[in-house]
């Protein structure tokens, strides 16, 4: 009778140890998840499954036979621009060219077209590899085009525009003239001074 009681306790201990081990593994996975900012990437099978699922979603986002894809929709879907309305605005402003020609937002894109997009001070040059209608994740989006863009300018080359010390207050007229002189806007400053002195 005592042996049955002892066996019951040892079974409970073994179950609690197994539960503790499982909890420890779950905690390790949570730690790895929080440290990397995403799921654990050590297992290549899970990464392949995720990529395969994303590719399947992209395939589902492809147009059906005979359907075309608008250029504003395509540049949004492949994550070259943040919103579709920004894509339409860029097309209307002449910042999007397909095969060297300015296009309207409703222009149809085909596989093999070269799309040039000027956005946020940088020019992107891409060749269309796959047509999609819906926005997909970044790993799948880069498979939809060939990127021939020039490298972005180094950050040191871009001068900060008039950064002032905290608590310095508004710039005086003299400070403003100095900043305009640094930016190469002396003609504007001179015209402003002339307008102020005219009767």
- Tell me: the pLDDT tens digits for 106-126? 999 998 999 999 988 889 999
Q: Do residues 152 and 129 lie in contact, with contact meaning Cβ atoms separated by under 8 Å?
A: no
Q: Bigger pLDDT: 65 or 90?
A: 90
Of the listed ranges 18-22, 147-151, 170-174, 183-187, the one predicted with least confidence: 18-22
Place of tokens 């001070």: 121
List the structure tokens of 136.
């997909």
Alpha carbons within 13 angstroms on the beta-carbon side of residue 29 total 9
Do the bridges between strand 122-128 and strand 145-147 make them parallel or antiparallel, or are there none, so unpaired?
Answer: antiparallel
pLDDT for 126 equals 94
Q: What is the mean pLDDT of residues 139-152?
A: 88
SS3 117: strand
Higher per-residue pLDDT: 131 or 6: 131
- The secondary structure element, H or E, covering residue 127 is strand 122-128
Stretch among 48-52, 84-88, 172-176 having the lowest mean pLDDT = 48-52
Is the pLDDT score of 99 beyond 60? yes
Q: Kindly report the pTM of this predicted structure.
A: 0.53
Quote the tokens at residue 75: 């540049």
Q: With a cut of 80, say whether residue 170 has pLDDT above it.
A: yes
């Amino acid at each position: 009778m005592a042996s049955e009681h002892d066996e019951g306790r040892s079974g409970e201990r073994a179950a609690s140890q197994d539960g503790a081990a499982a909890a420890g593994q779950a905690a390790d996975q949570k730690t790895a998840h929080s440290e990397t900012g995403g799921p654990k990437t050590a297992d290549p099978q899970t990464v392949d499954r995720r990529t395969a699922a994303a590719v399947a979603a992209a395939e589902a986002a492809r147009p059906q036979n005979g359907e075309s894809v608008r250029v504003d929709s395509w540049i949004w879907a492949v994550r070259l621009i943040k919103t579709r309305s920004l894509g339409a605005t860029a097309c209307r402003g002449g910042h999007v060219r397909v095969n060297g020609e300015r296009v309207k937002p409703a222009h149809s894109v085909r596989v093999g077209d070269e799309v040039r997009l000027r956005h946020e001070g940088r020019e992107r040059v891409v060749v269309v590899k796959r047509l999609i209608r819906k926005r997909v994740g970044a790993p799948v989006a880069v498979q939809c085009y060939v990127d021939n863009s020039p490298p972005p300018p180094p950050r040191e080359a871009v001068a900060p525009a008039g950064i002032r010390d905290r608590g310095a207050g508004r710039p005086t007229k003299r400070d403003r003239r100095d900043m305009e002189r640094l930016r190469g806007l002396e003609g504007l400053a001179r015209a402003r001074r002339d307008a102020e002195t005219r009767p």
